[in-house]
């Protein structure tokens, strides 16, 4: 059931487009869910299930063909400044130091004040990069660069942070570390997050709820509350409860959940 206080409401969203041969292809059909203030929601599904398409609709990058997306009760198309997005690649500007990369969205808005600059530095501290503020992206590891990108997305204090497989390009060990780092950053900021991934363990580890997208056309087949205490540890990752969630989601989407 949709919450009247939800940050994001996805209502009967569908996406149909024409292929090159003139046929119609339905990528998404009848998707319904919401994200509450301060909630971390993961979206998981097989490659090609439409989960990234769904995120791009929510972000306003593409237009849905049916249904609507509301941000705090208003059509998301009129509220794009109130959301931020993190992609798989950090896309930092190499000629700007890390602090200036974080401040970039506020420069575009002509809104860099002493308070905003102090908040950008605070975000880098929260991300464990306080001593890297004056360094450049090429001096950082891939995981550290992605942390800068997360700080850049948070600096405008968005109503919701959208994340499209942000750790997909990282090696397995760095990705595991980034799961811990993102959990810690979320715990510090209590930012509303909608996180798309193809990794079942990652989805469970990070989320309060996991939205499971079925395949072709993409539709919501389950909305699962993750009842594992915060902050989560490696012991939780290998617990019986965690394994039970993995099996439940694997059965729904028919794919093994190991991070790849």
Q: Enumerate the β-bridge partners of residue 194.
A: 41, 162
Q: Rounded to 5 degrees, what angle do the CA atoms 102, 108, 113 make?
A: 65
Domain count across the chain: 1
Quick one: pLDDT at residue 2? 52
* 63 within a domain of the structure (yes/no): yes
In a domain, 139, yes or no: no
Let me know if 168 is exposed, middle or buried by CB neighbors in 10 A (0-12, 13-18, 19+). Answer: middle
- 190-207 pLDDT per residue, tens: 999 999 999 999 999 999
Question: What CATH code is carried by the domain that includes residue 260?
Answer: 3.40.50
Task: Give me the pLDDT at residue 260, please.
Answer: 34
- CA 91 from centroid of its chain's CA atoms: 16
Residue 189's CB: how many other CB atoms inside 10 A? 18
Owning domain of residue 25: 1-38+48-79+198-260
Nearest Cα neighbor of 147 from 173, 111, 183 is 183
- Position 105 in a domain: no
**Is 65 within the bounds of a domain?**
yes
Residue 258 lies in a domain: yes
Residue 26 domain-assigned (yes or no): yes
pLDDT digits (tens, 9 = 90+) for 131-155: 999 999 999 999 999 999 999 999 9
Q: What is the full DSSP assignment across 99-117?
A: HHHHHHHHHHTT---HHHH
**What are the pLDDT digits (tens) for 12-59?**
999 998 888 888 888 899 999 999 999 999 999 988 888 989 999 999
Helix (H) or strand (E) holding 237: helix 234-237
- Cβ atoms of 204 and 211 closer than 8 Å: no
In a domain, 172, yes or no: no
Is 156 a member of any domain? Answer: no
pLDDT tens digits along 57-116: 999 999 999 999 999 999 998 888 899 999 999 999 999 999 999 999 999 999 999 999
């Amino acid at each position: 059931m949709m919450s009247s206080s939800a940050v994001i409401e996805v209502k009967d969203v569908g996406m149909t487009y024409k292929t090159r041969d003139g046929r119609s292809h339905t990528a998404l059909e009848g998707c319904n869910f919401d994200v509450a203030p301060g909630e971390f929601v993961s979206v998981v599904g097989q490659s090609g299930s439409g989960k990234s398409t769904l995120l791009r609709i929510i972000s306003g990058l593409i237009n849905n063909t049916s249904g609507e997306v509301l941000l705090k009760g208003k059509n998301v198309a009129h509220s794009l400044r109130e959301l931020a997005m993190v992609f798989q690649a950090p896309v930092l500007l190499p000629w700007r130091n890390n602090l200036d990369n974080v401040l970039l969205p506020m420069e575009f808005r002509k809104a860099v004040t002493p308070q905003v600059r102090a908040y950008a530095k605070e975000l880098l501290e929260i991300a464990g990069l306080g001593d890297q503020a004056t360094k450049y992206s090429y001096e950082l590891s891939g995981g550290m660069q992605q942390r800068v990108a997360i700080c850049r997305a948070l600096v405008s204090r968005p109503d919701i942070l959208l994340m499209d497989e942000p750790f997909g390009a990282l090696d397995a060990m760095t990705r595991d570390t980034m799961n811990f780092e993102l959990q810690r950053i979320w715990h510090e900021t209590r930012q509303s997050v909608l996180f798309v991934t193809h990794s079942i363990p990652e989805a469970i580890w990070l989320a309060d709820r996991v939205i499971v997208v079925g395949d072709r056309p993409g539709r919501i087949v389950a909305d699962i509350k993750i009842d594992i205490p915060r902050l989560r540890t490696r012991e939780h990752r290998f617990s019986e409860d965690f394994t039970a969630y993995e099996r439940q989601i694997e059965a729904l989407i028919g794919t093994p959940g190991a991070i790849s």
